[in-house]
Amino acid sequence: MTKISGKTVLITGGAAGIGKLMGEVCLSKGARKLIIWDINDATLNETTKEFTDRGFDVSPYKVDVSSLEYIQEAAAQILADGAVDILINNAGIVTGIPFHQQHASAITKTLAINVEGVMQVSRVFLPAMIAQKSGHIVNIASAAGMMSNPNMSVYAGSKWAVLGWSESLRLELESMVGDLHVTTVTPGYIDTGMFDGVKSPLLLPLLKPKAIVDAIIKGVEKNKLFVRKPFMVSSLTFVKGILPTRAFDWFVGSVLGVYKSMDEFKGH
């Protein structure tokens, strides 16, 4: 069991959306300190003020997780005061257009934030966790890392990478002595601005931010290997394993409507 009370928690992309909600829940559960990394000055300042006005210990850092220099500089300052106990890799971006229309810069940026950023942030904080023989890393992947989707190729590719890496990291840490854990989160569409315009597929309703945040925090406390929401996401591996590819495409695409869910995507 991972206790949040008395722990130092760092959340990337923690100034808004589910990142902010996760921080709020951790503070309400007695986290000693919340460290927020975010690239948006305005929301970073607003969220920090909101939490500190309520008496919480919050340390904000403007960090672009696609920049190794930013990551290493901020991490050095934080680690000078001790290890991070719980790291939540939440920062991410999504583009929703056909692959042949993607700009080279958008591909580079998506991979830099969604894949390399997650790995580099974990890399700088992991040695201190290993040294103290305790720590928990939470990686926000996606159901898109378990199932391909039209108009989501770059995002899906990045989340497939996160899913594979996160599982490998878990196995490595489990072979070590200590209380070291990795929880991989694979949510469907979340009802936030990030997925504005998405059509909710049959059996895959838009997740309410508070509901998925509660599930993630509960998963951390119980050292769950995966947090998969909604229920249909938990069934994907089984369904994909038993159905031929064309039958799976028909069921997911034509019956559930997943393959058309990004047709009117706007996002931000």
The conformation of residue 251, written as its DSSP 8-state character, comes to I
198 pLDDT more than 90: no
Per-residue pLDDT band at 95 (split at 50, 70, 90): confident
Just list the catalytic residues.
Answer: 155
218 versus 258: the higher-pLDDT residue is 218
H helix intervals, 133-207: 153-174
**Distances, alpha carbon 17 to alpha carbons 11, 12, 21, 91, 163, in Å:** 12, 11, 7, 10, 21
- Per the prediction, the chain carries an average pLDDT of 94
- Domain range summary for the chain, segments of one domain joined by +: 8-260
So what's the pLDDT on residue 192?
86
Q: What is the pLDDT of residues 142-162, one digit of tens each?
A: 999 998 889 999 999 999 999
- Give CATH for domain 8-260: 3.40.50.720
Buried b (16+ CB within 10 A) or exposed e, 152-180: bbbbbbbbbbbbebbbebbeebeeeeeeb
Dihedral (Cα; 106, 121, 184, 87), 10-degree rounding: -130
Instruction: Supply φ then ψ for residue 6, to 5 degrees.
Output: 80, 5
Separation of alpha carbons 8 and 224, rounded Å: 20
Instruction: Supply φ then ψ for residue 60, to 5 degrees.
Output: -95, 145
Share of the chain above pLDDT 90, in %: 83
